[in-house]
Structures are given as structure tokens and as C-alpha cells.
Amino acid sequence: MRDTRESRLLLVLLIAIAFALITVDIRAGEESPVDGARQAAAAVFGPVEEGVATAVDPVANAIGAVRDSGERHNRIAVLERENAALKAKLGSDEQTRSRIHELDEMLKRAGAGQYGIKGAEVIAIGAAQGFSWTVTIDAGSKDGIERDMTVLNGDGLVGRVTTVGPDTATVVLANDPDFTVGTRLEKTGELGFATGQGDRALSVQMLNGKAKIGPGDRLVTFGSHGNKPFVPGVPIGEVVKVDAARGDLTRTVWVRPFVGFSRLDIVGVVVMPPREDPRDAVLPPKPEAPKPIPTVTVTVTPSATAGAPSKPADE
């Protein structure tokens, strides 16, 4: 259409008519004269709009799903990190509680025996030293550690110090085959010598072949001259087997160590011996044997008239 005076006049006229129709439609509401035309237009263009909406909705849904998926992924990642942190914290707390318990038990033993100890942590096992049963601790000459000092933990005798460096020391364990320590039997005081047997029970040669000893009896260290390499009174283990007496001068018994050598962590090196032999004082009290539960026997004696028929009340 050319831009002429007539065309401009026609455009103005159409705009005026459009405004007039809009005004009439708004004021008339549902009774508008153009309602029929609107419905006809809706019938024609409605399917087209619906088709376009149907085609567009999956794209919009996909975009929303991707966005939501990202948010869900982020939330899952955050929860996973929080869960891992919680597990680490719980694991750390469990380890901390376990080590606090070990330290507490060791201090109780040291206090009972009046041992002056230097605490240390096991930082390595002794593969480098050959086939012997040894561990390395993180305390050395700078901490006052010397060769041939007794090493213990909350359960009892761990071993003795063999070599010392400035910051570390090597400890040969009580179950090493070359390890020997003098023993004293609880209560009776019978003496012997315990020798390591690796992962088996300690072998103890009792000096008195006729000594009365049985499973469950406990032994402690006898002590050494000058308290090196062993201070007296440190718990060693419990008798699990006694060889039959054969009239020999000595007698062999087998002792399960109190210490678990495969799970050592916190240990104490005795840097100051006790003023006097604690003897059995470091051993924990034996658990009391359970008291027998009394049984009650009920004896039923049949009555003499139990089988006789009863008489009627009116006789």
C-alpha cells in the first residue's frame, strides 16, 4: 500500500473502529456483539496454539529437568560430603576414645606399681630388624629413654628397649623367641623364667618342679638387679596349660600374655623404678566366680482321702 492521503485516512478510520469495538466488547461483557467472532477465531487458531504449546512444553520441561537435576546433584554431593565428614568424625572419635582408654589403663597400672613412665606411641613394626618381634616407638634419648628399660601398657609387660636413637627407640617384645624374663607366681611367689614363643603362649620354666600351679594362675615380673632390664611386679599373663609333673627339678607351664602384641598403640617406658617391689599389687582383682543359684525342690505327697468319692451334702 502506497503512502497517500487516502491510505492514511483509511488507517485512522480502521484504528477508530478497532477502539470502538474494544470499548463495546468490554462494556457488553458476555453479551458482546463480537463474541461470536472471537469464538470463531478461537476455533480456528486454538489447535494451532495447542500444537505449538505441545511442541514447546517438552523443551521447557527438559530444561527444567536439567536445571532441577543439577540442583539435586548438588544437594546429593553436599549430603555425601557431610556423610563422609560425619563418618570420619565418628571414626576419629572412636579412635580417640580407644586411645584415651588405653592411656587411662596404662596410668592405672603405673600408679599401682609406682612406676615413673614416659608415654610413647608405636610408629612402626620391626620388619627392618629381621624376623624378631620388635616395634619402634616415637621416644628416644632426648626423652630420657635408655637401653634395657622396661616397656609396658595398660595390660602388662610389652618388652624392653634394645636400641635408642635421639627421637626413636626399638623395643623387643615379650613374645620374641630370644626374650626371657624372670617371673613370680601370684600369691605363692614361686619363681620361673618365661620365654617368648612368637604368636603362641609363653613357655615358663618353674624352678620348683613340685610347685602347685594350675590354669588361671597369674604371673608378674620378678625384676632385675638395678631394675634393668625389668622392674618387678609388671603383669605378664595367665596360665593356660600345665605340663604333667615327671619328678624333674623344673616344670613347664604355658602362659597366655595379657598384652595383645599385634595391636600395640600407646605404651609407657619405665624411666623411674618403684621404691619397693609391688609384688601382686599391679594385677587387677580377679573377677568373682558367679554364685550358684539355689534350686527349690517341691515334693508332692498324695493325701489318704484323695481318691475317695465325696458324700452328698444331705446324707
The owner of cell 580407644 is: 98
**In this structure, what C-alpha cell is assigned to residue 210?**
613340685
When pLDDT is averaged across residues 165-187 and rounded to a whole number, the result is 95
44-48, 256-260, 262-266: which has the minimum mean pLDDT?
44-48
Helix (H, G, I), strand (E, B) or coil at 158: strand
Reported residue count of the chain is: 315
Percent of the chain with pLDDT over 90: 49
When pLDDT is averaged across residues 200-228 and rounded to a whole number, the result is 93
Count of C-beta atoms within a 10 Å radius of residue 161: 23
Residue scoring higher pLDDT (302 or 254): 254
- Closest by CA to 183, choosing from 156, 219, 151, 230, is 219
For residue 236, name the pLDDT band (cuts at 50, 70, 90). very high
Give the chain's domains with CATH numbers: 108-272 (2.40.10.340)
pTM exceeds 0.75: no
Separation of alpha carbons 268 and 153, rounded Å: 6
Residue 305: the pLDDT is 56
102-106, 116-120, 184-188, 310-314: which has the minimum mean pLDDT?
310-314
For residue 301, name the pLDDT band (cuts at 50, 70, 90). low
The residue type of 60 is A
Residue 196 pLDDT > 80: yes
When pLDDT is averaged across residues 208-217 and rounded to a whole number, the result is 90
Please give the mean pLDDT across all residues of the chain: 79
Residue scoring higher pLDDT (5 or 60): 5
Residue 164: the pLDDT is 96
Residue scoring higher pLDDT (285 or 231): 231
Residue 45: the pLDDT is 46
DSSP string, 41-67: HHHHHHHHHHHHHHHHHHHHHHHHHHH
Residue 126: the pLDDT is 77
Residue 52: the pLDDT is 46
When pLDDT is averaged across residues 178-189 and rounded to a whole number, the result is 95
When pLDDT is averaged across residues 15-29 and rounded to a whole number, the result is 60
Separation of alpha carbons 15 and 9, rounded Å: 10
Residue-wise pLDDT for 111-164, tens only, equals: 999 999 999 999 998 754 456 899 999 999 999 999 999 999 999 999 999 999
138-142, 241-245, 250-254: which has the minimum mean pLDDT?
241-245
When pLDDT is averaged across residues 218-244 and rounded to a whole number, the result is 95
Residue 42: the pLDDT is 47
Separation of alpha carbons 79 and 74, rounded Å: 9
Residue 74: the pLDDT is 72
- Could you tell me which residues are beta bridge partners of residue 194? 181, 204
What are the percentages of helix, strand and coil residues in the chain, rounded to 5?
40, 25, 40
Separation of alpha carbons 269 and 243, rounded Å: 34
